[in-house]
Amino acid sequence: MAEKTVRVPAISCGHCLMTIKREVGEVEGVTGVEGDVDTKQVTINFDAPADWVKIAATLKEIGYPAEEA
């Protein structure tokens, strides 16, 4: 299992975080998504076949592009 924490500057409220959790959580292989509105950080746990490129593309597609934390 892999874990990655990223900064997502577009997070402004709990609704933003719930959207990220729902959409990224649907990526095959993602096993967990946690985040914090105050720090604008999201931690994603994933197994194969998920890979970071696909997860990052999903974040960008839904309007929440990630930056390295």
Pairing relationship of beta strands 41-46 and 30-36 according to DSSP bridges: antiparallel
pLDDT of res. 69: 65
CATH number at residue 58: 3.30.70.100
Rg over CA atoms, the chain? 11
Tens digits of pLDDT across the chain (69 residues): 899 999 999 999 999 999 999 999 999 999 999 999 999 999 999 997 778 999 999 999 999 999 986
Could you tell me the residue range of the domain that residue 6 belongs to? 2-68
Return all residues near 55 (Cβ < 8 A) that are at least 6 apart.
Answer: 4, 24, 27, 30, 44, 46
Phi, psi (rounded to 5 degrees) for 48: -60, 145
- Number of structural domains found in the chain: 1
